[in-house]
Each structure stands twice: as C-alpha cells, then as structure tokens.
Amino acid sequence: MAKALSKFLKTEPFSTMRTIFNVFTFLFKPKVTVEYPEERTPLPPRWRGRIILSRDPDGAERCVACYLCAVACPVDCISLQKTEDETGRWYPEFFRINFSRCIYCGYCEEACPTHAIQLTPDFEMSEYDRNNMVYEKEDLLIDGTGKYHDYNFWRVAGKAIGGKSKGEAENERPPVDVRTLLP
C-alpha cells in the first residue's frame, strides 16, 4: 500500500510539485559561494602561481643562467642574459618574465637544475597597464630559499669558483692526476 502510494507520488504532476518544494527548501541551506575578497579558498602549497627566483641558504642568487627555463617555456615568456662575476659564478645579467604571456604550466620549475625558479601560491597579479605585467629580476628575486631550504648548487657542483677549487665540493673526491695512473 505504502509502496503503491510512493510510486503514485512519483508520477506527474506530483513529481513536479515535489521538485518545486525541494528547490524551495534550498532557500534555507548554506550557500556554497566563497565571497572572494573577504573570504578566500585555501591554496595548496604546490599551487602554480606567481613565479619567483629564490636564493640559496647563504643568501646568494641560485639562478646560474643556464637558459633551461627559457627553453622549456612553451609560450616563450622568460628572457634572460647570462653573465659571470669575478669569482667565476654564472648569474643572469637580467631576468625578465612577461606574466601577460605566462600560462603557469610550471615547466620552468621542472627544468631548473638549481631550484632557483619556483611557482608560488599567489594569483592576485592584476594590473591596469599591460606593461606592468613584465616582471624584472628585482621583482622576481626573493630573500628566502622558497620550497627547498638546504640546497646550495655551488656547494655540490664540480665547477671551480672563487674560494672553492676542483674537488672541494660536497661528496666530491679530489681530481685524479692522470700522470700518476700511468703503468
């Protein structure tokens, strides 16, 4: 009996009336809207947003101007110029990201061998003038280490720079003197 009644109530026009009533009850349900400027959804730490250049634990620039990020970039929004200081360290003379082109794909971060370029959980970069979307090196460079706190490329790299010659890096043996290997 009850089954027959419930089946009967699922036919038209009762099902339409039930729909109307169910929708009406939504008036008293909590809303899903996040009212953005006042409330924000939490962003995950690996969110791909505004790109930064990080420093190593000693406070020096991590970027070694290898151009891999510029090559990996599918929209060619990164441009830089390599130069070298008196100690032999490579660094970018300028480093420029055009954020009006950037698609935040994160390929530059994946390509970077020194963890220098990183994407951060920040998307609020709107500008009224398109030229302001072009970020120079001083806009990109931050004071911290970003996501990787202990990594220092020059301390593990084999390249000789001022104050560290060949064989002195971490986990590196002194260079082999080939003449002592002679039979």
Give the binding site for another protein (CB under 8 A). Answer: 16, 19-20, 22-24, 26-27, 29-33, 35
Query: Which residue, among 43, 53, 45, has the nearest Cα to 108 in the 3D structure?
Result: 53
Amino acid at 137: K
CA separation for the pair 35, 38 (Å, rounded): 6
Query: Which residue, among 173, 147, 174, 172, has the nearest Cα to 53 in the 3D structure?
Result: 147
Nearer Cβ to another protein (40/166): 40
Structure tokens at 98: 């055009």
Nearer Cβ to another protein (20/176): 20
R_g of the chain, CA atoms, integer Å: 29
Amino acid at 35: E
Nearer Cβ to another protein (8/24): 24
Nearer Cβ to another protein (11/131): 11
- Where do the H-state alpha helices sit in the chain? 2-9, 14-25, 68-72, 107-111, 137-140, 153-156
Supply the minimum distance, in Å, between the C-beta of residue 28 and another protein. Answer: 9
Nearer Cβ to another protein (13/163): 13
Supply the minimum distance, in Å, between the C-beta of residue 24 and another protein. Answer: 6
Supply the minimum distance, in Å, between the C-beta of residue 43 and another protein. Answer: 22
Supply the minimum distance, in Å, between the C-beta of residue 6 and another protein. Answer: 21
Supply the minimum distance, in Å, between the C-beta of residue 143 and another protein. Answer: 37
Structure tokens at 90: 């490579």
Q: Is 156 helix (H, G, I), strand (E, B) or coil?
A: helix
